[in-house]
Structure 1
Amino acid sequence: MQKLLVSVVAIIALVAGVVIFNSLPKPQPQALVYNPPRALEPFMLEGHNGSQLTNADLTGQWTLLFTGYTSCPDICPTTMADLRKIMPQLTSFTERDVRVWMISVDPKRDTLQKLADYNTYFGKEFMGVRAEHKNLYPFVNGLGLMYSIPSEGETDYLVNHSSAIVLVNPDGERHAIFKASHEAGQLPTVDMEQLVQDFQLITQQYN
């Protein structure tokens, strides 16, 4: 009788523990997560390997998209180096491939060859992407990002652009956006440690 009572108490304690655990608030990503994820408008861009990229090229993988350009003096190379550094962690959280698209916002100067040289330096997961402004601007704007277009005739210029990173899920949908922090005297860059934590949570919750 005593053994039965102990067993019943143990079962009750286990059930109570499960109920309490399930009622606890679950960790949530700090990134802006779209619920439901948002479809991307049809697009056609160029990959640095000469391929034509469409919506289908964003399916079946997790893709991090950000705007940049090869002549960028600070934010772009910093972001690329940081993403290369955390790539092993990101790939450990999912069985799907993880890719990075650097979307050039300087089509005037960024040829496919320049993009190929720039992106392949960081690794096989990195793809340089370009298009002329008529196709590029709607795509970038649709991601919730922005960039400036230099005046006609300018040759030596900087391009102002968003520092945020957009996450596209394996269904090719805009799933989340990792915003950059803005601190006085510091480059507006994404917190990569937080991105890693958020990516793990997002991939765990993804169906």
Structure 2
Amino acid sequence: MTRVQKTVFILVAVVALVLGLTVHRVLTSQGQADPTKLLDAGIVLLPQSRTLPPLTMLDQNGEKVAVDQLKDKWSLMFFGYTFCPDICPTTLAQMRELKGLLPPEARDNLRFVFVSVDPNRDTPQQIKQYLGYFDPGFLGITSDLPTLQKLANAVSIPFIPADTSKENYTVDHSGNLVVLGPDGTQRGFIRSPLNNQKLKEQLPGLVVPKS
């Protein structure tokens, strides 16, 4: 390696170190003291936030909900369906548990959202009854299949539409949660399966407003 190459290598290393420290300071200023611990808890933040498409859906009370207007607090969004035999009841039970484990200030600034990807069977009434088994305070929303696919694609949570002609059909979907910020944009994901013991330690630093 020549002297010039060595000098360039050292400069690149210094710039990388400075950038790394800058990112760490930014995350720390946002209450995320240790990015490594966030990842260890399954929280994956996007390098750039994503704007949700302007889609209107129905909630469990039959009221219209604009998904790009889920603002003013953080949201954890889970895609599933009420006839799901395994992933959905397990994840919703974990979400209920996580809500109870969080300190009041974090819990009050967090919205839990269930998006049904089975509009053929999941009417608003069905969703309301189903969420009642877990937490009536959860927001449940659904829409027609094209709208659901647009939302799922926008937040990178894939699901495979079912063959509704089959009896007792199932819907293949992800178990990850979408993290939405108080500005209504997607900030990241929480990987499945949820580790509530780690999430209860890391989520407050992300979702509690800094004074």
Q: Same fold (TM over 0.5)?
A: yes
**What amino acid is aligned across from residue 27 of structure 1 in structure 2?**
D
Which residue of 167, 170, 195 maps to 2:199?
195
**Cα distance between partner residues in 1 of 2:112 and 2:50:** 19
Return the index of the structure with the highest Cα Rg: 1
Using structure 1 for the length normalisation, give the TM-score.
0.76
Superposed CA RMSD in Å reads: 2.3
What's the % identity of the aligned pairs? Answer: 27
Using structure 2 for the length normalisation, give the TM-score.
0.75
> Cα offset for 1:91?
5.1
Consecutive unaligned residues in structure 1, runs of 5 or more: 1-21, 181-188
When residues 110 and 204 of structure 1 are mapped into structure 2, their CA distance, relative to the original with a 3 A threshold, is closer
Which residue of 55, 58, 65 maps to 2:77?
65
**Cα distance between partner residues in 1 of 2:103 and 2:61:** 23
Q: Note if contact 1:147-1:161 (Cα within 8 Å) is conserved in structure 2.
A: yes
Instruction: Give 3-state SS (helix, strand or coil) of 1:85's partner.
Output: helix
**Deviations 1:18-70, CA, capped at 9 Å, x for gaps:** xxxx9xx9411112112332211211111011111103541011111011111
Q: Which residue of 1 aligns with 2:168?
A: 156
Which residue of 93, 96, 107 maps to 1:84?
96
1:5-84 aligned within 5 A: 26-28=33-35, 29-30=38-39, 31-55=43-67, 57-84=69-96
Within the alignment, does 1:143 sit opposite 2:149 as a pair? no
**What amino acid is aligned across from residue 150 of structure 1 in structure 2?**
A
**What amino acid is aligned across from residue 204 of structure 2 in structure 1?**
Q
Q: Note if contact 1:69-1:104 (Cα within 8 Å) is conserved in structure 2.
A: yes
Consecutive unaligned residues in structure 2, runs of 5 or more: 1-24
Deviates more, 1:44-53 or 1:29-38: 29-38
Aligned length: 176
